[in-house]
């Protein structure tokens, strides 16, 4: 009788395991690196300081949503807010640059009307 090939079993034997258990933070960081999420997390790290970068007032009616190429898309509750922010778009970009990682390029800001 022949044995069936089990790829999962072979992966378990090849995987290196540490002798001591890792703490949760170290395990999460290594899992993020393994999945390639660290660069994405670094790209959006500035969102944690959004109210510090722009004013509290602007932060109350805007929220960074996502990047579309070199353009940051901000969610705003109405087209009137989008119009108001379009006048200070360049100031927002200049204020954001120190908070962005070197591999993140920002050339423009677009607005998307929707729920925050």
Where are the domains positioned within the chain? 42-113
CATH 3.30.1360.120 fits 42-113, yes or no: no
- Digit-coded pLDDT (tens) for 62-105: 999 999 999 999 999 999 999 999 999 999 999 999 988 877 88
Is the Cβ–Cβ distance between 68 and 75 less than 8 Å?
Answer: no
Sheet strands (E) in the chain: 63-68, 71-76, 108-113
Confidence check: pLDDT of 57 > 80: yes
pLDDT at 27 over 80: no
Q: Is residue 42 over pLDDT 90?
A: no
Judged against a pLDDT cut of 90, whether residue 111 lies above it is answered with: yes
């Amino acid at each position: 009788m022949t044995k069936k090939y089990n790829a999962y079993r072979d992966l378990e034997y090849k995987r290196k395991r540490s002798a001591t258990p890792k703490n949760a933070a170290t395990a999460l960081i290594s899992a993020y690196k393994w999945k390639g999420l660290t660069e994405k997390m670094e790209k959006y790290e500035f969102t944690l300081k959004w109210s510090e970068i722009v004013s509290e007032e602007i932060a109350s009616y805007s929220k960074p949503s996502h990047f579309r190429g070199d353009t940051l898309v901000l969610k705003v509750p109405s087209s009137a807010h989008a119009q108001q922010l379009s006048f200070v778009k360049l100031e927002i970009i200049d204020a954001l640059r120190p908070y962005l990682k070197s591999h993140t390029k920002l050339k423009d800001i677009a607005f998307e009307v929707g729920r925050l």
